[in-house]
A and B are shown apart, each in its own frame.
Chain A
Amino acid sequence: MKKMFPKLTASLAVCSLVASASFATDMIKIGVQAPITGQYANEGQSIDNGVKLIVEQLNAKGGVLGKKIEVITCDDQGAAQQAAICAKKLVNEGVKAVIGSYTSGATEAAQTTYNRAGVLQTSDGTSDSLIAHKYWTFFRNSFPNSAEAEYTAKYFVDGKKYKKIVILSDYSSYSTDLADATTKALKAKNANIIYEGKIKSGTQNFTATLTKIKSMDPDVIYFSGYYTDGGLLRAQQEQLGIKADFVGGDSNDNPDYIKLAGESAKGTLLINVPTPDILPYDIAKTFLVDYKAKYSMAPASIWSLMNVDGLRAILHVMEQTKSEDTKVIAEGLHNLKDFPGITGPVTFREDGERIGGGYMTYEVQADKSYKIVYQ
C-alpha cells in the first residue's frame, strides 16, 4: 500500500505539468523508455532517476533555448511488445528525443517507430544489431558487444590462458548477440570452446545444464546474460562443486547479482566498462554526489550514467545549434567530438555508434567490493 501513494502524487504532478504545459507551450519534451517494473526494474528506475536529475538541474538554470524541459516516462517492462506501445505513446506525446531503453530487445522494438517519426533515440543497448539499420535517429551511448567480445577474448586467451571454455547465454537479443560475438572473437584467437549452451531466463533452476557442464570439466564458464540469472547460475555452480571460474558479461554488474549469488559471489569475475564509483572525471563525481543526495542511493550501474550521457549530449547540441529540429540535432551529434561525458568522452560514428571502450575485469571480493584484476 505504501507504494501507491507516491504513484498517486506522481500522477497528480504529471497532471499539473500537462495543465501548465497547455498554457505555456514553450516546453521541450524528452521521453524516457525504460523497464520501470519487471525483472530489470532497478536498472529502469535508475535511468529514469538519472534523467530527471539532469533535467531538474538544467531547468533550475533556465532550461534549454530558454525553454523548460518536461520528462515523460513510459514503462516498457523490458519487453518488446510493451516497448512498441511505449514508442507510439511517446511519439504521440510529441517528444523530441527518447532516452532508453535498458535492454537491446526493447530498444530494437521501438527503433523503427522513432525513426519514422523523426524522434531521436539514445540507448545503452549493446547488441551490434542496433546500428544495423543505420537509422539517423539512433545514437548508442554505450559500447557495442563486439568491443566487449574482443576484450573478453584477449583476457581469456592472453591473460587467463583458459584451455576449456564454456559459453552460456539466454534467448534475449542482447545475450545471444554478445555470446555470438565472444565466440567469434575467441575462435579468431584459436581458443578452445568446449560447449556453447543456452539457459531460459527466469526459470531459476539451472542445475541440469550445469551438471552437463560439470562432466566437461571446464576452466571457465562465461555467461553473457543478465544479473537475475547470472547470480543464480553462480550459486548453483558452486553448489554442484564445479571448480571453474565464473565470468559474467557486463549485465551481471548489478548489486542484485551479488545478493543472489550470496557467498558464492566471492571470486567471480565481471567484465564491464568502469563502474560509476571509479570514474575519474569531475562531472562524474559531482553527478554521483547529487544523485545520492536526491535519491539516497547510488545509481544501479554504469548503464544509467551512459543513458544520462546520451541525454546530456543531446541537450548540449540543442543549445549549441540553437535548434529544436531533430535533423539539425542529429547532424550536430555526428559532428560532436569528445564531448565531456560522465562516462568519458562522447563521440559518435556516422552510424550512431559511440566510439571508445575501455573495459575492465573486476573480481568480487569477500566484502562484496570490486577489485580491478585486468585492464
Chain B
Amino acid sequence: MDIFLQQMVNGLTIGSLYALVALGYTMVYGVMRLINFAHGDLVAFSAFIGLSVYAQIFGESATSLIVVITVFVFTAAIVAFVGVLLERLAYRPLRTAPRLSAVVSALGAGLVIQNSVMLIWGPNMKIFPSNLFPATIWEMGGIVITFTQVMILGVSSLLMVGLYFFIHQTKIGTAIRAVAIDQDAAKLMGINVNRIIMIIFIIGSALGAVAGLFIGTYYRGITFDMGWMYGLNAFVAAIMGGIGNIPGAMLGGLLLGLFNAMITGYISTQWAETFTFVLLIGILVLRPTGILGETVAEKV
C-alpha cells in the first residue's frame, strides 16, 4: 500500500509539472487555434535563465526564501517577455495565414530558441545548485516526500487554482473567454484582441518558466534539448484533457504523470511510453475532444 501511495506522490509531482506546461499549450490553442510548439523549448530556456539569474544576482552562495522568490519572479518576467516577443515575431504576422504556416513557424521558433540556448550556455549539461530549497525529507508510514516535492505540488496547485479564478471571476478573464469563443464578436464588443493574446502569452510563458525552474531544482541537471521531452508530454496531457480547456490541461497533466508512474512501477519502463500513447489514442477514439472536452458554446 505504501508503495502505491509513494507512486502516487511520484506521479503527482511530475504530473503537476506537465500540467503547468500543458496550460501554456492549451491557453494559446484556446485563443488562437495554434499549437505553440516552441513552448517546450521556452521551458528549457527558463531553466537556464533561472540558473543565470541566480548566479548573477546571488553569486551561488546565499539562499533564503527571498532569494528563491526573486529568482522565480525575475525568471518568469524574462520568459514572459520572450513569450510576448515570440508571439509578435513568429505568430502575429501569420494570424490570417493558413494554419499550417503558423505551425511551421512555431516549430521553427522552437528550434531558434533551442539553438540559442545551446550557443549561449553551451551544449554541456548544466547543474543547478542543490541548496535552493532545504533538503528536508518527511517520512510518514513508509511514504517519503521531499521539501521540493511539496513546493512543486503546492505552488503549482496554487497557480492552477489562481488561474482558474482569474479566467472565471475577473473582467480580463471574461474577455479571454470571449476571444476564445469568437474573435470578431469580441472585437465588436470593444475587446482589444491583441492585448488579450499578449496576456495569454505572458501567463502561459510565466507558468512554463515556473515549471522550468522546478525541473531545474528537482532534477538538477538541465540540457539545452530537454524542452522537447517535457513539451511532448505536456502536449499529450493537454490533448488528453481536451485542448483549449484549462481544467482539462490540469487534469491531463496530473493523469499523465500518475499513469506513467503506475505503468513504470507495476509493469515496466519499457512499456510506459507505449501505454501512454495507447491511452491517448483510446481517449481520442472515445472522446475526440478529450476528457473534459473543448467548450463549444458558453454564455459570458
Residues facing A in B108-164 (CB within 8 A) are 118-120, 122-125, 127, 130, 135, 137, 139, 144, 146
Q: Does B11 contact A (CB under 8 A)?
A: yes
User: Is the CB–CB distance between A208 and B7 below 8 Å?
Assistant: yes
User: Is the CB–CB distance between A42 and B124 below 8 Å?
Assistant: yes
Enumerate chain A residues within 8 angstroms of B272, measured Cβ to Cβ.
200, 208
User: Is the CB–CB distance between B139 and A199 below 8 Å?
Assistant: no
Cα–Cα, bound, A39→B262 (Å): 28
Chain A 98-137 interface mask (CB, 8 Å, partner B; 1/0): 0000000000000000000000000000000000000000
Q: A215-B3, A231-B221, A260-B221 are in contact. Are A198 and B125 (CB under 8 A)?
A: no
Nearest-CB distance from B67 to chain A (Å)? 18
Cα–Cα, bound, A198→B120 (Å): 34
Q: What residue in chain B is nearest A236 (Cβ atoms)?
A: B219
Cα–Cα, bound, A38→B261 (Å): 27
Q: What residue in chain B is nearest A229 (Cβ atoms)?
A: B221
Which one of B7, B123, B146, B269 contacts A198 once the chains associate, using CB atoms below 8 Å? B269
User: How many residues of chain B get a CB closer than 8 Å to chain A's CBs?
Assistant: 39
User: Is the CB–CB distance between B119 and A209 below 8 Å?
Assistant: no
Enumerate chain B residues within 8 angstroms of A42, measured Cβ to Cβ.
124
Residues facing B in A205-236 (CB within 8 A) are 205, 207-209, 211-212, 214-215, 228, 231-232, 235
Q: A197-B269, A204-B221, A205-B14 are in contact. Are A37 and B123 (CB under 8 A)?
A: yes
Nearest-CB distance from B52 to chain A (Å)? 13
Cα–Cα, bound, A42→B125 (Å): 9
User: Is the CB–CB distance between B265 and A212 below 8 Å?
Assistant: yes
Q: Does B6 contact A (CB under 8 A)?
A: yes
Cα–Cα, bound, A4→B116 (Å): 11
Cα–Cα, bound, A239→B127 (Å): 18
Cα–Cα, bound, A41→B223 (Å): 11
Q: Does B33 contact A (CB under 8 A)?
A: no
Q: How many A-B residue pairs have CB under 8 A?
A: 95
Q: What residue in chain A is nearest B129 (Cβ atoms)?
A: A262
Chain A 224-268 interface mask (CB, 8 Å, partner B; 1/0): 000010011001000111000000000000001001101100000
Chain B 259-277 interface mask (CB, 8 Å, partner A; 1/0): 0111011101110110000
User: Is the CB–CB distance between B6 and A211 below 8 Å?
Assistant: yes
Q: Does A3 contact B (CB under 8 A)?
A: yes
Interface size class of A (residues with CB under 8 A): 35 or more
Q: A1-B120, A211-B3 are in contact. Are A228 and B221 (CB under 8 A)?
A: yes
Nearest-CB distance from A75 to chain B (Å)? 9
Q: Does A202 contact B (CB under 8 A)?
A: yes
Q: What residue in chain A is nearest B215 (Cβ atoms)?
A: A204
Q: What residue in chain A is nearest B6 (Cβ atoms)?
A: A211
Which one of B125, B229, B269, B270 contacts A39 once the chains associate, using CB atoms below 8 Å? B125
User: Is the CB–CB distance between B122 and A203 below 8 Å?
Assistant: no
Q: A197-B268, A212-B3, A263-B135 are in contact. Are A207 and B130 (CB under 8 A)?
A: no
User: Is the CB–CB distance between B127 and A38 below 8 Å?
Assistant: no
Chain A 55-83 interface mask (CB, 8 Å, partner B; 1/0): 00000000000000000000000000000
Enumerate chain A residues within 8 angstroms of B168, measured Cβ to Cβ.
none
Enumerate chain A residues within 8 angstroms of B144, measured Cβ to Cβ.
239-241
Residues facing B in A23-70 (CB within 8 A) are 36-39, 41-42
Enumerate chain A residues within 8 angstroms of B270, measured Cβ to Cβ.
198
Nearest-CB distance from A229 to chain B (Å)? 9
Q: What residue in chain A is nearest B119 (Cβ atoms)?
A: A3
Q: Give the 5 A-B residue pairs with the shortest CB-CB distance, closest first.
A: A208-B264, A37-B123, A262-B130, A207-B10, A208-B261
A-B contact pairs, 17 of them (CB 8 A): A37-B123, A202-B223, A204-B226, A205-B10, A207-B261, A208-B261, A208-B262, A208-B272, A211-B6, A211-B10, A228-B125, A232-B220, A239-B137, A241-B137, A260-B220, A262-B130, A263-B130
Extra A-B contacts (11), CB below 8 Å, given A239-B144, A262-B130: A1-B120, A198-B268, A200-B273, A204-B226, A208-B260, A212-B3, A228-B125, A232-B219, A240-B144, A241-B144, A260-B127
